């Protein structure tokens, strides 16, 4: 009898192991402050052959949205909830004393890593975390990566900083110092490849989830000189000519329909020809440095892909790539750098709205706003055998970053818990995109946004949107667009269809009441927020 039981066990173990191996590895890659058109497969002149290879061997979605800002997007990614339900309606380290704006992940959610653990996954992360208030080792670490389901972590807990000498570089739960000749983008890529190699070396048959959160191309403009040199000549054309070129390429690629017009240059952006010739070189180098940051990120993604190929993991790995928000118009400068210092650790610059308007081609506005330029992201999925035809551009129903948690759990065959550590878990707000990746339609639904009193709802062909103001109650007038005919938001139909405005406004208000959105950014949006953002 004992011999029969032993034989049965021997026969069933390989079956259980193979069943575990059938679950896909999942790699999620996020760029930081990168616009819709900043990679080759979405129209850019920036060299991104490795990201483009993912698009060629996978699918691109035409309509995918983030939240318009780094912290909320990361909170929604990790929890599958609208960011206010996770406590991250605004930013970390800024507790406004109400549930939606705690500046820290709350206890009523689980992260993807925590949920996948129950399905037998090992989880690793490298790069920007930015969803916890405390970033000091001697303070509470309950919302650090290792305490939220990840087994290994290398990166920075805060939102931004030097690429050469980061002050909050962290390994596991400990701060570490950057080594000589350190460059953060390379370190993130190399950590990702190390995590994969170590996982394989252990002969560990568990599938893995790897979250790769680059800080590129977020300010400051820091890049390696050899990468910057590749782009100096290109950007002498200026933002106007390049914006036209990107738009034409987008039409050819099919990521933008020909019926959608290129939006006008933003009013705050001067014509390139109006920039004095003596000032153009530093503007050229700003954009060349930004492009170099993306180029280096792409090189690192190539090394991650090569590691998968070498270890024969490619066929059973889902890779997702997107950006956390649109191009950033913020003005950052702690000095007036010479053109030689720009891009080095001696400078701290942003590329500003002049170039961000190019990044967000063909859309209007920028990061933090919830017009299309702030929230529309390139979205690529490579998952052999599980998507539509390679290279497809899928004209999907609108999808949102809240959909990634349910998508990953569905791919992994994992269940979403109702409780965790004694806390009741909020249901996720998103829907699985598994069928969408195959080219199937998803049922219509409304999608919502709020950040810094910028508000929007997308339902059917309609989008109701408004820009915030600096004066209480901080809300601007509603604008109404029919995105079926006007994806670049050029013709405001609010006066023509007041009934539609009221209908969508009521839907937005009901959502806001049900999802911890009020009071909008607390009760003091002005001076306290400005002081906080100066210290970012």
pLDDT of residue 472: 79
Is the model's pLDDT at 14 over the cut of 50?
no
Residue 340: how many other CB atoms lie within 10 Å: 11
Element (H, E) at 61: strand 59-61
Is the model's pLDDT at 525 over the cut of 80?
no
Residue ranges covered by each domain of the chain: 27-445
pLDDT of residue 471: 80
pLDDT of residue 219: 97
Question: How does strand 317-323 pair with strand 25-31?
Answer: parallel
Evaluate whether 103 touches 95 at the Cβ level (below 8 Å): yes
Q: Among candidates 137, 72, 57, which has minimal Cα distance to 102?
A: 72
Over range 35-49, report the average pLDDT. 98
Element (H, E) at 7: helix 2-21
E-assigned strands of 98-252?
122-128, 152-156, 169-171, 174-175, 208-213
pLDDT digits (tens, 9 = 90+) for 65-116: 999 999 999 999 999 999 999 999 999 988 888 999 999 999 999 999 999 9
Over range 321-346, report the average pLDDT. 91
Over range 315-321, report the average pLDDT. 98
Cα–Cα distance, 404 to 422 (Å, whole number): 25
pLDDT of residue 228: 98
Over range 474-500, report the average pLDDT. 97
Per the model's pLDDT, the better-predicted residue between 336 and 383 turns out to be 383
Cα–Cα distance, 250 to 485 (Å, whole number): 17
Evaluate whether 71 touches 131 at the Cβ level (below 8 Å): yes
Confidence at 205, pLDDT banded by 50, 70, 90: confident
pLDDT digits (tens, 9 = 90+) for 109-132: 999 999 999 899 999 999 999 999
Element (H, E) at 498: helix 498-514
Over range 275-289, report the average pLDDT. 96
pLDDT of residue 2: 46
pLDDT of residue 532: 47
Is the model's pLDDT at 353 over the cut of 80?
yes
Is the model's pLDDT at 534 over the cut of 70?
no
Q: Among candidates 1, 391, 45, which has minimal Cα distance to 242?
A: 45
**CA distances in angstroms from 75 to 84, 128, 505, listed in the order given:** 9, 12, 25
Per the model's pLDDT, the better-predicted residue between 420 and 191 turns out to be 191
pLDDT of residue 9: 43
Confidence at 535, pLDDT banded by 50, 70, 90: very low
Over range 50-61, report the average pLDDT. 97
pLDDT digits (tens, 9 = 90+) for 149-177: 999 999 999 999 999 999 999 999 999 99
Is the model's pLDDT at 17 over the cut of 60?
no
Evaluate whether 417 touches 55 at the Cβ level (below 8 Å): no
Q: Whole-number mean pLDDT of the chain? A: 92
pLDDT of residue 6: 44
Is the model's pLDDT at 11 over the cut of 90?
no
Cα–Cα distance, 61 to 103 (Å, whole number): 31
Evaluate whether 456 touches 463 at the Cβ level (below 8 Å): yes
pLDDT of residue 240: 98
The answer for residues whose C-beta is within 8 angstroms of residue 190's C-beta and 6 or more apart is 300, 303
pLDDT of residue 204: 67
Over range 29-42, report the average pLDDT. 98
pLDDT digits (tens, 9 = 90+) for 216-261: 999 999 999 999 999 999 999 999 999 999 999 999 999 999 999 9
Handedness of CA 526, 488, 445, 442 (dihedral sign): negative
Fold of 27-445: Alkaline Phosphatase, subunit A (3.40.720)
Is the model's pLDDT at 49 over the cut of 60?
yes
Q: Among candidates 20, 48, 190, 216, which has minimal Cα distance to 128?
A: 216
- What's the number of CA atoms in the CB half-sphere (13 Å) around residue 438? 9
Residue 201 in tokens = 């070396």
**Poorest-pLDDT segment among 124-128, 176-180, 359-363, 460-464:** 176-180
Confidence at 502, pLDDT banded by 50, 70, 90: very high
pLDDT of residue 21: 58
Helix residue spans in 127-276 (DSSP H): 184-201, 225-229, 239-253
pLDDT of residue 203: 77
pLDDT of residue 462: 98
pLDDT of residue 388: 93
Cα–Cα distance, 150 to 146 (Å, whole number): 5
pLDDT of residue 529: 53
Handedness of CA 250, 252, 255, 261 (dihedral sign): positive
pLDDT of residue 86: 95
pLDDT of residue 306: 98
Cα–Cα distance, 481 to 488 (Å, whole number): 9
């Amino acid at each position: 009898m004992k011999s029969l039981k032993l034989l049965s066990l021997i026969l069933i173990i390989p079956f259980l192991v193979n069943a575990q191996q059938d679950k896909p590895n999942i790699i999620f890659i996020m760029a930081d402050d990168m616009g819709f058109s900043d990679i080759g497969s979405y129209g850019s002149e920036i060299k991104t052959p490795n990201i483009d290879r993912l698009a060629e061997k996978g699918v691109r979605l035409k309509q995918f949205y983030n939240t318009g800002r780094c912290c909320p997007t990361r909170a929604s990614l990790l929890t599958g909830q609208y960011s206010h339900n996770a406590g991250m309606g605004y930013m970390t380290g800024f507790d406004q004393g109400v549930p939606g704006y705690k500046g820290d992940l709350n206890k009523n959610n689980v992260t993807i890593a925590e949920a996948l653990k129950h399905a037998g996954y090992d989880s690793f992360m490298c790069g920007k975390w930015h969803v916890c208030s405390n970033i000091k080792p001697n303070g509470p670490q309950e919302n650090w990566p290792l305490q939220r389901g990840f087994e290994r972590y290398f990166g920075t807990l805060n939102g931004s900083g030097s690429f050469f000498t980061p002050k909050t570089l962290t390994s596991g739960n400990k701060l570490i110092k950057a080594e000589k000749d350190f460059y953060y983008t390379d370190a993130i890529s190399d950590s990702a490849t190390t995590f994969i190699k170590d996982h394989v070396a252990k002969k560990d048959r568990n599938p893995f989830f790897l979250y790769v959160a680059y800080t590129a191309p977020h300010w400051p403009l820091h890049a390696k000189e050899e990468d910057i040199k590749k782009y100096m000549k290109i950007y002498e054309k200026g933002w106007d000519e390049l914006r036209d070129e990107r738009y034409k390429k987008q039409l050819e690629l099919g990521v933008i329909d020909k019926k959608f017009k290129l939006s006008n240059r933003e009013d705050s952006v001067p014509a390139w020809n109006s920039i004095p010739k003596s000032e153009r070189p530093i503007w050229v180098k700003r954009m060349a440095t930004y492009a170099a940051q993306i180029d280096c990120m792409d090189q690192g993604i190539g090394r991650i892909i090569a590691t998968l190929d070498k270890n024969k993991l490619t066929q059973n790995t889902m890779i997702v790539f997107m950006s956390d928000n649109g191009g950033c118009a913020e003005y950052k400068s702690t000095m007036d750098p010479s053109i030689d210092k720009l891009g080095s650790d001696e400078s701290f610059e942003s590329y500003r709205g002049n170039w961000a308007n190019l990044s967000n081609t063909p859309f209007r506005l920028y990061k933090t706003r919830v017009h299309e330029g702030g929230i529309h992201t390139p979205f690529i999925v490579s998952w052999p055998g599980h998507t539509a035809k390679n290279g497809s551009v899928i004209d999907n129903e609108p999808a949102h970053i809240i959909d990634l948690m349910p998508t990953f759990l569905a791919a992994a065959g994992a269940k979403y818990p109702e409780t965790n550590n004694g806390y009741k878990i909020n249901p996720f707000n998103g829907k699985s995109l598994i069928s969408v990746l195959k080219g199937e339609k998803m049922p219509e639904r409304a999608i919502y946004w709020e950040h810094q009193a910028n508000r929007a709802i997308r339902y059917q062909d309609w989008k109701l949107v408004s820009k915030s103001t600096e004066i209480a109650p901080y809300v601007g007038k509603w604008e109404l667009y029919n995105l079926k005919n006007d994806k670049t938001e050029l013709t405001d139909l609010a006066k023509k269809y007041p009934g539609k405005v009221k209908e969508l406004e009521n839907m937005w208000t009901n959502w806001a009441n049900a999802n911890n959105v009020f009071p909008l950014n607390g009760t003091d949006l002005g001076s306290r927020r400005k002081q906080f953002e100066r210290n970012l």
